[in-house]
Copies of this chain bind each other. A is one copy, B any other.
Amino acid sequence: MTTSIKLPRPAADFHVHVRDGDMMKLVVPTIKQGGVSVAYIMPNLVPPLTKVEDVLSYKSRLEAVDSSVTYAMSLYLSPAITPEVIHEAKKAGITGVKCYPAGVTTNSDHGVASYAPFYPTFAAMEEEDMILNLHGECPSAGHIHVLNAEEEFLPTLKDLHARFPKLRIILEHCTSAAAVQAVLECGPTVSATITAHHLFLIIDNWAGNAYNFCKPVAKLPADRQALLDAATSGNPKFFFGSDSAPHPISAKEKGKNASAGVFTQTHAIAYVAEAFGKLGKIDKLVDFVCNFGRDFYKVEERPSSFSVVLEKEEDTVPLLLGEGGSAVVPFKAGENLSWKVVITEA
């Protein structure tokens, strides 16, 4: 039985929210703690990052907190992101552009209502070999609701892929069997990230539980099974992106408008190991968390200053990260995990 796994290099997390200010200072150190040395940083700050200089400034603030992680950066798609900005961004070392449909999740008020106006931008991204990160949901209205919002988006994914076949596209945090199937049907330039928490959750888990509520919402048992199958399949189209989304307790423990997001950064790789281990697929872990994402992204990174070993050892998820009303409750707070991430400085 496997009791210890030394990762050939620390894991990479291709969907990370660390906010700004005090929350950033609280959360950024947990990237490494979770076993990760490469983090793809989402741009949905308040206001969103729509300028190259703002992204670079944010990157500096992240590096000031923890310089041992490589931060791959993204812009927030908006009318400000012209083809000229794309060329500028590429030169500045920015990796991709995140597209939020308007109004579907945290800080998406400035998101996209229609894709066609951005075709010139997507063409420039294709030319520059930048990555388009899609939050793949249609806003709820009429027959569209949180449970089919992702499936309803899939024709848009396929349409964009057909229009820009060389553009690398990631369907972020895919949550449904339909999304897995759609990604499989696309060419090699289309991949998907899968979170840790969607390997565990279904609709019942967020019914009456704000800490398990995120967007896209966790769906039905068959969808969770499809995600587990995809993540452990060994197909490089599917790789890890935690979508770890810290919200203070005060934004969760309220009756209405609880913020959407599950916080998994502190134990990111341990959660994935837990899910894979239960399926007897722990041998698929390294590719999913270390290799497939890096290969797709073609990340340039410094040699890591630390190494990561997963030990088969019971580890209890703390009840809180931080203190007071701004503390964050981690996923599975107070529960035991079977794998523990051990960090060793080089």
Q: How far is the CA of A206 from the CA of B204 in the complex (A)?
A: 12
B329 touches A211 (CB 8 A): no
Residues of B within 8 A of A45 (CB): none
Q: Choose the segment among A64-72, A173-181, A217-225, A302-310 that binds chain B (4+ C-beta atoms closer than 8 Å).
A: A217-225
B208 touches A260 (CB 8 A): yes
Residues of B within 8 A of A204 (CB): 140, 145-146
Q: How far is the CA of A256 from the CA of B204 in the complex (A)?
A: 12
B146 touches A207 (CB 8 A): yes
> Which of B145, B206, B257, B329 is in CB contact (< 8 Å) with A221?
B145
- Check if A24 is an interface residue, CB within 8 A of chain B: no
B145 touches A210 (CB 8 A): no
Question: What 0/1 pattern do residues 59 to 100 of A give for CB contact below 8 A with B?
Answer: 000000000000000000000000000000000000000000
> Which of B140, B210, B221 is in CB contact (< 8 Å) with A256?
B210
Number of copies: 2
Q: Choose the segment among A33-41, A162-170, A247-255, A292-300 that binds chain B (4+ C-beta atoms closer than 8 Å).
A: A247-255
- Check if A46 is an interface residue, CB within 8 A of chain B: no
- Check if A342 is an interface residue, CB within 8 A of chain B: no
Given the interface pairs A140-B204, A142-B221, A204-B140, the reply to whether A211 lies near B255 with Cβ below 8 Å is yes
Chain B: which residue is nearest A212 at the CB level?
A: B256
Residues of B within 8 A of A233 (CB): none
CB distance from A33 to the nearest CB of B (A): 22
Residues of B within 8 A of A222 (CB): 143
Residues of B within 8 A of A140 (CB): 204
